[in-house]
Amino acid sequence: MKRFLTILVLLFISLAFFGQTKPDWIENDSRNDKFPASVFLSGFAQRVVEKGISNETEQAKLDAQADLVKQVRLMLKSKTQSQSSAQSINGKYSERESFDNQSSAEANAEIVGMKTETYFDKKANLVYAFAYANKYEIIGYYKSNLSLNVNQIASFVKTAQDLAANSEKAKARQQLEMAKPLFPKVRYAQDLLTALDGNATPDDLLQPQTEQYYNIVTQLFANLAQGVYVFVESHEDLFGQKVDIVANQLKAELAKSGCSFVETPEQADFKLKINVSTRQSSSDANIVFCYADTQVELFDNHKQKAVYNNEIDQKGGGVSQDKAGRKAMSDVVSIISEKLKPWIEN
């Protein structure tokens, strides 16, 4: 019984591979009649069976799909070139340039709704593959995709504007960073829809909104880059006395480099943590020497990581322990300032 079932299974597999009716799309004329270029994107491939049917069939499928995608990329390239010529004439849409390379890379993605069929010709020992996608299905998908991405950009921009108005620069910039990668997706959808749908208008493609949001994002980035906001968290111990010697003097120094100081970490570009404690070192006649043991950490809110970390032991002298400690704290300020400026100014 088992042997009988095995024979049936093998027979079924053989019929599936070798008993296929030769499809119409094998012949070029029939393929063009059944899948006209006005309605379909298509790709075709054939391979000699040398490494087994399964392997060659899979490779033929990939070749056919690549052939279809290649056509899409050629359409996009042609459109981009024509737009570049238009830009040189009227100077418009210059903002597209920074996105073109990213946008064209989207064409490597799988085409929505793409189907692939294969056929093995035993006599010729050839595997054929045909990939096709309905243009109108693609148009429908990318219209929806375009609208979704533009609406997301609008939401990020509105939130960034509100945050910037409340001086929450770091959060505002994070919103803009989330909006930025959506622009290449929007550009790709617009390019593809224009290539596939000759009747699409700028309004259909949401081009006025896209350009408006791009300009807002660009300007808002520039505004947020003017000056640097720093939140300072300081713990300073002068022989048991809580002071703000280092923090106050350091703010004055950094202000010369264009830094402003905020009350909450969420408003800041950088969070600066300072921990200082004093210890007596020695005394000589009427002079007392002390150290200000200082720990410094600068955290970049945009990169979400500490960009500078250091421990500094600064020595100071005075006629008393208090004065020596204060001198050491004051002297460490210039060292910290010089260490921080390259990070903050960049």
Three-state secondary structure of 115-161: EEEEEEECCCCEEEEEEEEEHHHHHHHHHHHHHHHHHHHHHHHHHHH
CA 346 to CA 296: how far, in whole Å?
A: 18
Instruction: Going residue by residue through the chain, which has 346 residues, state the pLDDT in tens, using 9 for 90 and above.
Output: 556 555 554 555 554 444 558 898 999 888 889 999 889 999 999 999 987 889 999 999 999 998 988 888 877 776 655 554 444 333 333 334 444 444 444 544 557 788 999 999 999 899 999 999 999 998 999 999 999 999 999 999 999 999 888 777 778 888 998 999 999 999 988 988 888 887 889 999 999 999 999 999 999 988 887 778 899 999 999 999 999 999 999 999 988 877 888 888 887 889 999 999 999 988 877 899 999 999 999 999 888 899 999 999 999 999 999 999 999 999 999 999 999 988 886 5
**Rounded to whole angstroms, how far apart are CA atoms 160 and 171?**
7
Domain assignment present for 6: no
Range of the domain at 23: 14-134
**Domain C-terminal end among 115, 134, 153:** 134
Residue 312, token pair as written in the block: 């500094």
165 and 266 together in one domain:
no
Whether 38 is covered by a domain: the verdict is yes
In a domain, 337, yes or no: yes
Distance CA 191, CA 76 (A): 6
Q: Which helix (H) or strand (E) holds 84?
A: helix 53-90
Same domain, yes or no: 218 and 239: no
CB burial string 101-125: b at 16+ within 10 A, e below: eebbebbeeebeebebebbbeeeee
Is the same domain home to 219 and 237? Answer: no
Number of domains in the chain: 3
CA distances 178 to 116, 175, 186, 242, 272, Å, are: 35, 5, 14, 42, 25
Considering the domain boundaries, does residue 47 fall inside one?
Answer: yes
Of 118, 134, 150, which marks where a domain is finished?
134
Q: Which of 73, 100, 134 is the last residue of a domain?
A: 134
Regarding whether 176 and 86 lie in a shared domain, the answer is: no
Eight-state DSSP code of residue 197: -
95: tokens are 């903002």
Nearest to 83 by CA among 69, 97, 72, 70: 97
CATH number for the domain that contains residue 239: 3.30.160.150
Has residue 262 been placed in a domain? Answer: yes
Does 119 share its domain with 175?
Answer: no
In a domain, 295, yes or no: yes
Same domain, 243 and 303: yes
Give the CATH number for residue 86: 3.10.129
* Same domain membership, residue 123 and residue 18: yes
